A = this chain, B = another copy of it.
Amino acid sequence: MKLLADRIKKDGKIYPGGVLKVDSFLNHQVDAELLYKVGEEFYRLFKDENVTKILTAEVSGIAVASLAALCFKVPMVFAKKNRGSNMSGDTYSQEVVSFTHGKTYEIAVSKEYLKPEDRVLIIDDFLARGNALIGLIELAKQSGATVVGAGVVIEKAFQGGGEMARRTGIRVESLATIKEMTDDTITFAE
């Protein structure tokens, strides 16, 4: 998606350790019009899959998943990261190791919102090492739902998560795939 690659080149900031920050349009400030176009592109890619639910994880997946859900006209569910006083009842839960933060956390979804008859499209902002995506796939599978695929805004292919996720047999579509990153250049895959 050229619009997205152009925006990443223009506004993305590279930090040591292969960290790409896109805070100006995706992770802190959100360009809703761009993300609606991203949602339309996911719809174009997955419209024949009879998606009944969009699944993402808080925090940074929520904006793009909300706009994708609008395009698909289905509900979006976001997995919560800390089951606290505001999460009641039975949940599915899954451990995830965070590459960015260097710690393990748990994601959880109420059993009310993922059902065996659901056809789930997972949406996330980034695919790097793949831990978050694998966690969401496992979470969805616990419910007995069918995971029809995953739509990712930015894939950092050099970190291997995409390869790992695709090896599970899940269809993964990334709208901007970064092949290589140095301290000052970003190279996209064709």
Contacts and interface: CB of A to CB of B under 8 A. Distances in A.
Copies in the complex: 2
Chain A's interface size range is 35 or more
A66 B69 contact: no
A85 to B, nearest CB: 6
- The residue among A24, A69, A80 with the most chain B CB atoms within 10 A of its own CB is A69
A33 B72 CA distance: 10
Nearest to A70: B32
**Secondary structure dominating the interface of A:** mixed
Contacts of A27: 86
Contacts of A58: 58-59
A100 B86 contact: yes
A86 B101 contact: yes
A159 interface: no
